[in-house]
Amino acid sequence: MNVDFSPAELEFQQQVRQWFADNLPADLKRKNELGKMPSRDELVAWQRKLNEQGWLAPGWPEEHGGPGWTATQRYIFDLERARAGAPIGLSMGIVMLGPVLMAFGTPEQKQTYLPRILSCDDWWCQGYSEPGSGSDLASLKTSAVPDGDSYVVNGSKIWTTYAHYANRMFCLVRTSNEGKKQAGISFLLIDMDTPGLEVRPIISIDGEHHLNEVFFTDVRVPKANLVGQEGQGWTIAKYLLTHERTTIAGVADSKVNLGILKAMAAENQSNGKPMLEDPRIRRRIAQVEIDLLALEWTNLRTLAATAAGKAPGPESSNLKLAGTAVQQAITELMVEIAGPWAWPWQTGDYVGPPELAHAVERYNFARAATIYGGSDEVQKNVLAKMMLGLK
Ligand SMILES: Cc1cc2nc3c(=O)[nH]c(=O)nc-3n(C[C@H](O)[C@H](O)[C@H](O)COP(=O)(O)OP(=O)(O)OC[C@H]3O[C@@H](n4cnc5c(N)ncnc54)[C@H](O)[C@@H]3O)c2cc1C
């Protein structure tokens, strides 16, 4: 695999770098550097700016409004985005639902929803997990019963990220209890303002409201909102999850965060010396850097396979496992280096350098990375079965 960029790719890199330098708002950059989430309005405004440039959905083909980039261009774009300090875009519509609609949607569904994902007129959330059906997703119980031109949906979802911001949900529902449990699952698009749908907040360990419970009581959903065939939901869900897991690896952002970690260790002192001179800290930072380099090459190999026309397969579980381990190792080291500076995170009375003071928030946020998109143990099961052929 040739990893040298061609002259045209280097020119593209310069173009992207310059665009971010000219267009990224300073306060958004600062929030991102401190690992803080932008507000809904900030994120929408930023995504609309990217869309005006035609760069909001790097993986989409031109026929659907994407830039039609090669895998290498997408890689360069992500490196430059992270390097500039720009937040990662909302993945629910762009990374997850968009490719599903392109592959399984009707012409009407593509025409209706794809442009609205790009214009940010729709904010999608993912309604998969239920109480008792997370890792064992196929056991989900939320039912959709046909009634005339509609399905009537009853049940509940949990851990639904940004359901309180979303106006639409893509949802897995049970349309049959016959045969294998996977065969009775269907994929529905649901408007969040449909009568009978209720969103309740869950506050996570970082003290923020990202997550929700969603309850359905006799929610009527038009049959035209079914994606694919009835009973095809499990196939669609698996297709979507491989896309989700590839992006969770987060190589570009980990590279930037490793730089921030090193700067923290260079600036913060212990026993009158920069912590970066402490052999114990140096060894651990070096280990993370080695792991990140290995991850980057694995990611490049997957990109090369995607460029050759292959859909991301079970290797995406490997990327997710290794990528989230690196994310957590970096944030753990950040907290150790920050030491007492990180303590006031619970009260908000920050003193000292902001990068150090916000270390615990980053750490708390990264804890969830080995759970969402499928837990570590579940990824290992997928690898054992699909790649090693173990039963
Ligand atoms: C921050 C965050 C955001 C999320 N956002 C969304 C969202 O937007 N939409 C959505 O649908 N879901 C979302 N989720 C839910 C997420 O997908 C589930 O939490 C995840 O699939 C694990 O399911 P669970 O929580 O039910 O845990 P469980 O499945 O109950 O697992 C509990 C423990 O048992 C282990 N375990 C389970 N089964 C096995 C097995 N077969 N072998 C070995 N170990 C096993 C797990 O690894 C875990 O350690 C989110 C979760 C988090 C933390």
CATH label of the domain that carries residue 162: 2.40.110.10
Which tokens sit at 194?
A: 């449909």
> Which residue type does 372 have?
Y
Which whole-number Å values give the CA distances from 320 to 82, 116, 337, in the listed order? Answer: 18, 29, 26
What is the C-alpha to C-alpha distance for residues 66 and 94, in angstroms, rounded to an integer? 10
Residues 67 and 188 in one domain: no
Q: Are residues 266 and 383 in the same domain?
A: yes
Structure tokens at 96: 């997850």
- For the record, the structure tokens of 67 come out as 């830039």
Structural domain count of the chain = 3
Structure tokens at 241: 């999850």
Residues of the chain with pLDDT under 50: none
Taking the centre of ligand 1 as the mean of its atom positions, its distance from the CA of residue 379, in whole angstroms, is 11
What pLDDT does residue 94 have?
94
Q: Look at residue 262 and tell me if it is in a domain.
A: yes
Considering the domain architecture, whether residues 83 and 159 belong to the same structural domain is answered as: no
Predicted confidence (pLDDT) per residue in 19-48, tens digit: 999 999 999 999 888 878 888 899 999 999
Residues 321-379: tens digit of each pLDDT: 999 999 999 999 999 998 888 877 667 676 777 777 788 888 988 999 999 888 999 98
Distance, in Å, from the CA atom of 268 to the CA atom of 339, rounded to the nearest integer, reads 9
Q: Among residues 63, 89, 115, which one ends one of the domains?
A: 89
Q: Is the CB–ligand 1 distance for residue 129 below 6 Å? A: yes
Cα distance between residue 101 and residue 61, in whole Å: 13
User: To test the ligand 1 pocket, which listed residue (90, 133, 371) has its Cβ within 8 A of the most ligand atoms?
Assistant: 371
Flag whether 192 is in a domain. Answer: yes
Q: Which of 125, 137, 159, 165 to mutate to test the pocket of ligand 1 (most atoms within 8 A of CB)?
A: 159
- Non-local (6+) Cβ contacts of 97 within 8 A are 113, 117, 124, 170, 240
Same domain, 13 and 65: yes
Task: Assess whether the C-beta atom of 124 lies below 6 angstroms from ligand 1.
Answer: no
Question: How many whole angstroms separate alpha carbon 245 and alpha carbon 298?
Answer: 14
In the prediction, which pLDDT does 37 show? 81
Q: What are phi and psi of 353, to 5 degrees?
A: -60, 130
Residue 198 catalytic?
no
Q: Enter the tokens of residue 334.
A: 């950040």
Spatial neighbors of 133 by CB under 8 A, at least 6 apart, are 139, 140, 141
> 168-174 and 124-127: which strand pairing?
parallel
Do residues 78 and 149 share a domain? no
If asked whether residues 209 and 266 sit together in one domain, one would say no
119 occurs within a structural domain:
no
- 241 within domain boundaries: no
Return the residue whose CA atom lies nearest to atom 35 of ligand 1.
377
Structure tokens at 339: 């030491």
In 3D space, the residue among 363, 370, 375, 371 whose CA is nearest the CA of residue 339 turns out to be 363
Give the model's pLDDT for residue 243. 66
Q: Which one is catalytic: 33, 52, 62, 244?
A: 244
Q: CB-based contacts of 310: which residues, under 8 Å, 6+ apart?
A: none
Helix H or strand E encompassing 294:
helix 279-307
H helix count then E strand count, the chain: 14, 10
Give the CATH number, domain containing residue 349. Answer: 1.20.140.10
Last residue of a domain, one of 196, 231, 266: 231
161 in ligand 1 pocket by Cβ < 6 Å?
Answer: yes
CA dist 26 and 64 (Å) reads 31
CA distance 223 to 149: 6
Range of the domain at 360: 249-387
Any domain includes 84 = yes
